[in-house]
């Protein structure tokens, strides 16, 4: 079992930056691949980024590629999402998720929300124009 708690969301003007954090409980954080997803009102949950257990491999949705960076600190049981050049269309609730499955490769796998076993409660990001 792992519990995930997101933080760092807020209101920011277009062009600004935010750094989201997701703190995980437990002593096995390094055995989980981690992902970030977002959900805007009236829309389906959408993949944002994912990172392998070691942090070496990362994946990004095209909508955030070049503007966002996912990273993790296994010593601190925390995964981060640095978002720059924010746009109003980035407005959503952002969720982190943990996948306890065997290590795999490929964005098609990590962008599928069904593979994640644990989810945080989400943090709101609002980008004003």
94 vs 79: CA distance, rounded Å: 13
**pLDDT single digits (tens) 80-91:** 999 999 999 999
CB crowding 67-78: b at 16 or more within 10 Å, else e: ebbbebeeeebb
Q: pLDDT above 70 covers what percent of the chain?
A: 100
The DSSP code sequence of 59-101 is EE-TTTTTTEEEEEETTTTEEEEEE-S--GGG-EEEEEEEE-S
**pLDDT single digits (tens) 10-42:** 999 999 999 999 999 987 999 999 999 999 999
Coil, strand, or helix at residue 128?
strand
User: How confident is the model at residue 103, as a pLDDT?
Assistant: 77
109 vs 17: CA distance, rounded Å: 28
35 vs 44: CA distance, rounded Å: 16
**Surface-to-core class of residue 99, CB atoms within 10 Å of its CB (0-12 exposed, 13-18 middle, 19+ buried):** buried
Pairing mode, if any, of strands 118-119 and 4-7? Answer: unpaired
45 vs 75: CA distance, rounded Å: 29
| Average pLDDT score, the chain | 95
Could you give phi then psi for residue 113, rounded to 5 degrees? -65, -20
């Amino acid at each position: 079992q792992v519990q995930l708690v997101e933080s760092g969301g807020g209101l920011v003007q277009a062009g600004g930056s935010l750094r989201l954090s997701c703190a995980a409980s437990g002593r096995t954080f390094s055995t989980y691949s981690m992902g970030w997803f977002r959900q805007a009102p009236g829309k389906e949950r959408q993949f944002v980024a994912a990172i392998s257990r070691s942090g070496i491999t990362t994946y990004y949705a095209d909508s955030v590629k070049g503007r966002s960076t996912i990273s993790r600190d296994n010593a601190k049981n925390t995964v981060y999402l640095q978002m720059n050049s924010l746009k109003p269309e980035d407005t959503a609730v952002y969720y982190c998720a943990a996948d306890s499955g065997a290590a795999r490769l490929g964005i098609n796998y990590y962008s599928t929300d069904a593979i994640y076993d644990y989810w945080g409660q989400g943090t709101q990001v609002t980008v004003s124009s």
